[in-house]
């Protein structure tokens, strides 16, 4: 595997070709915040909280570190005024959906984000897709998926699959950065209990 040399926050890094900027940063102990990233899952790039500045051939752009591949001579800045401003905005937007999320509260503290900056949407799901992707990619079950589009997008357990598979799994629960998943599962459980035809 060929090696790629890049610079992250002033440190020279030798990364493997195909690695993402996030992975390269992790190899030297630089922490970039993430919400929708999981080592066992395919890169997704949904939440954008891992945005960093990347400079190549004299041009600087904002890239999503968990999906952006390392490049020879790339210069990455994981904290800058611009990066922090964008992360703050993203955190504020996500907090309009999930103001009680501990992960978001912690990030808000670090980036000086105001949880009341945007009008609240009572969905609690930040659409990180961790539950959906984990169930599909790792468990190969797809017991939970997204329904609707745009602002109405929400997660939904498929009762027929959930009745058989979820009760002794729940591996997705700790992945959820909000309370949306547990609430959706609770709703599905009541549905299953109220409708005896669902086989368990």
Minimum Å gap between C-beta 33 and ligand FES is 8
- x/- mask, ligand FES, residues 55-74, rule CB under 6 A, reads ---------x-x--------
Any contact of residue 131 with ligand SF4 (CB under 6 A)?
yes
| C-alpha–C-alpha distance, residues 48 and 87, integer Å | 8
Biggest CA-to-CA distance, the chain: 64
Upper half-sphere CA count for residue 36 (Cβ side, 13 Å): 24
Q: What's the token pair of residue 11?
A: 């440190």
Give the C-alpha distances (Å, rounded to integers) separating 82 from 73, 86, 89: 21, 6, 11
Region binding ligand SF4 by CB under 6 A among candidate stretches 4-12, 71-79, 126-134, 190-198: 126-134
Minimum Å gap between C-beta 95 and ligand SF4 is 13
Residue 49 interacting entry, from ligand FES, ligand SF4, none, C-beta within 5 to 8 Å by type:
ligand FES
Cβ-count burial of 26 within 10 angstroms (0-12 exposed, 13-18 middle, 19+ buried)? Answer: middle
Any contact of residue 128 with ligand SF4 (CB under 6 A)?
yes
Any contact of residue 91 with ligand SF4 (CB under 6 A)?
no
**Sequence-ordered strand ranges (E) for the chain:** 3-8, 11-16, 51-56, 59-64, 75-77, 144-147, 154-157
Residue 46 interacting entry, from ligand FES, ligand SF4, none, C-beta within 5 to 8 Å by type:
ligand FES
Q: Which of residues 154-173 bind ligand SF4 (CB under 6 A)?
A: 155
Contacting residues toward ligand SF4, per CB under 6 A: 125-132, 155, 175-178, 180-181
């Amino acid at each position: 595997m060929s090696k790629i040399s890049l610079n992250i926050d002033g440190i020279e890094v030798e990364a493997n070709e195909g690695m993402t900027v996030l992975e390269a940063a992790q190899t030297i102990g630089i922490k970039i915040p993430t919400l929708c990233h999981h080592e066992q899952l395919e890169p997704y790039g949904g939440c954008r909280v891992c945005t960093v500045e990347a400079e190549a051939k004299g041009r600087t752009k904002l890239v999503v570190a968990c999906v952006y591949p390392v490049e020879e001579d790339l210069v990455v800045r994981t904290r800058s005024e611009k990066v922090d401003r964008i992360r703050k905005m993203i955190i504020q937007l996500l907090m309009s959906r999930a103001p009680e999320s501990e992960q978001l509260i912690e990030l808000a503290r670090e980036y000086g984000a105001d949880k009341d900056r945007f009008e609240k949407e009572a969905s609690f799901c930040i659409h990180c897709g961790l539950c959906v992707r984990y169930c599909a990619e790792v468990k190969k079950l797809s017991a939970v998926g997204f329904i609707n589009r745009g602002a109405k997008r929400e997660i939904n357990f498929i009762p027929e699959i959930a009745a058989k598979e979820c009760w002794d799994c729940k591996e997705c629960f700790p992945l959820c950065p909000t309370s949306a998943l547990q609430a959706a599962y609770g709703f599905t459980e009541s549905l299953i209990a109220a409708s005896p035809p669902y086989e368990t």
